Amino acid sequence: MVMYKHIYTHKHVYVQVYTCIYTYIHICIQGLLPVDEHLQLSCDGVHESLADINVCLRPQWYGVVCGRSPTTGELLVPLSDEQKSSTCEFLNSLILPKRFGMLEAQLGSKDFFCGDKMTTADLSWYNLKQQETKTKF
């Protein structure tokens, strides 16, 4: 698995390979990323599913569509009460049950998502579950 961080400017694309390689090696040494490529793909899948869930939850958390302004920190494009209610309804009736169901199916009766020990996917899952318990929809 090769990880690159791309930085785009108006004329060039820069790739931060060394930062990503260092991070990758550090995580592998700590044992939080599987060495097996198939398990790495499973970890990537869990991370992407959790990222999708976070994207869907963001408007509900902040009550806005576009998050915060990168210059002022101001909340951008506030949701109306009706939109907040609709967002909550879709999250609880469709989006979250489907996404969590997919993750629970992958986990099954195992203790960990990817292999027989904890990985970054399990830590990300734990982090999301902690946010979920603190957030009321």
Domain 36-134 classification at class level: mainly alpha
Asked if residue 121 has pLDDT above 80, the reply is yes
The predicted model gives 87-113 an average pLDDT of: 93
> Are the C-beta atoms of residues 137 and 60 closer than 8 Å to each other?
yes
Number of separate helices (H) and strands (E) present in the chain: 5, 2
Q: Is the pTM of this model over 0.85?
A: no
Burial of 44 (0-12, 13-18, 19+ CB in 10 A): middle
Cβ contacts of 127 within 8 Å, gap of 6 or more:
none
Q: Where in the chain is the domain with CATH 1.20.1050.10?
A: 36-134
Distance CA 132, CA 102 (A): 17
Amino acid identity of residue 101, one-letter, is G
pLDDT tens, residue by residue, 53-92: 988 988 988 899 988 888 898 999 999 999 999 999 999 9
Quick count: other Cβ atoms within 10 Å of Cβ 71? Answer: 6
